[in-house]
């Protein structure tokens, strides 16, 4: 297929690469920093354009992975936005972690132009993007999803339609709510083990064989014990995601006391200079 990818950050860069190499698609990219788009095109053999509109022109599917609601609107709407260049019948797949409100807004805007919109936030982090093993949570029309899913498979180990427009973003919120509690629990457990004079690695080797096991434990306990946080999903990004979760909870009257508390703990990590640290840096706050 002829496809475009808008946004070449730590996630988008390898995702677009998988579309070109693994998927075998003809890929045109756009990035706010043009030099990075040029680098990608040189590495993967695709094209790069100066605006989202130019990148999207004539494409069957346009993918995006940018920072937040405002970034998403900036690459989709307006005279230089992707929608201005897309043809009727084309599909826009958004991998940004954003609000369900902006997903529904763009779904409706696309409908006016005959453009289908799928909200499709991802989980799995930078490693998942690089390894082509992301989990993708989708919202939108079933017939449109069925067309997009085989293309998304180039970088996904799991992809599923969860409901109408916005359902993908709501599912990603559930994902982040669950992660926040798990990471805080792991941080407290490891902190307790250290203060109790236990061998943290030995403790994890035992308890990871039981009910306490988690992805976070398996992948982060060593670096948490060593106080290393210079990789993975940044605290700034997690706070952005949790702010979306908490705003949605105010609208739907869900109760998220633990998520709200962990969000405040992350604000303390930011004040410690840990804005770009990995989310596992919650243990640094306890070990001060």
Residue 63, CA distances (Å) to 60, 70, 119, 149, 162 in order: 10, 16, 10, 12, 19
| 140 vs 88: CA distance, rounded Å | 17
d(CA 188, CA 76): 42
Cα–Cα distance for residue pair 6/3, rounded to 1 Å = 10
- CA 268 to chain CA centroid, Å, is 23
Catalytic residue, candidates 47, 111, 172, 240: 172
Helices (H), 115-199: 125-130, 142-152, 167-195
Pairing type for strands 61-64 and 2-6 reads parallel
Exposure string of 56-71, with b = 16+ CB inside 10 Å and e = fewer, is bbebbbbbbbbbbbeb
> Is residue 222 annotated as part of the catalytic site, yes or no?
no
- Measuring CA to CA, which residue among 216, 215, 259, 223 is closest to residue 241? 259
Sign of CA dihedral 117, 118, 121, 127: negative
**Long-range pairs, 248-251, Cβ under 8 A, ≥24:** 248/99, 248/100, 248/170, 248/173
Q: Which helix (H) or strand (E) holds 2?
A: strand 2-6
C-alpha distances (whole Å) from 132 to each of 43, 58, 119, 125, 257 are: 17, 26, 19, 11, 34
Q: What is the spatial distance between Cα 135 and Cα 142, in angstroms, rounded to a whole number? A: 18
Q: List, by residue number, the catalytic residues.
A: 172
């Amino acid at each position: 297929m002829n496809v475009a990818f808008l946004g070449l950050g730590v996630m988008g860069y390898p995702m677009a690469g998988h579309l070109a190499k693994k998927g075998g698609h003809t890929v045109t990219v756009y990035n706010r920093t043009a030099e990075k788009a040029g680098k990608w095109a040189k590495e993967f053999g695709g094209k790069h354009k100066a605006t989202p509109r130019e990148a999207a022109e004539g494409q069957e599917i346009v993918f995006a992975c940018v920072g937040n609601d405002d970034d998403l609107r900036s690459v989709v709407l307006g005279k230089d936005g992707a929608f201005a260049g897309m043809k009727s019948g084309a599909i826009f797949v958004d991998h940004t972690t954003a609000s369900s409100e902006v997903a529904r807004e763009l779904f409706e805007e696309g409908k006016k132009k005959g453009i289908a919109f799928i909200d499709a936030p991802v989980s799995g982090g930078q490693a998942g993007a690089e390894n082509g093993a992301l989990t993708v949570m989708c919202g939108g029309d079933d017939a449109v999803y069925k067309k997009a899913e085989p293309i998304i498979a180039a970088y996904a180990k799991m992809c599923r339609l969860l409901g109408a427009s916005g359902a993908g973003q709501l599912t990603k919120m559930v994902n982040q709510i669950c992660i926040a509690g798990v990471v805080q629990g792991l941080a407290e457990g490891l902190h307790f083990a250290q203060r109790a004079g236990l061998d943290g690695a030995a403790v994890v080797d035992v308890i990871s064989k039981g009910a306490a096991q988690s992805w976070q434990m398996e992948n982060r306990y060593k670096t948490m014990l060593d106080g290393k946080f210079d990789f993975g999903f940044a605290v700034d990004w997690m706070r952005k995601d949790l702010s979306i979760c908490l705003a949605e909870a105010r609208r739907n009257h869900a109760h998220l006391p633990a998520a709200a508390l962990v969000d405040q703990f992350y604000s303390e990590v930011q004040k410690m200079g840990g804005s770009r640290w990995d989310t596992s840096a919650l243990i640094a706050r306890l070990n001060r």
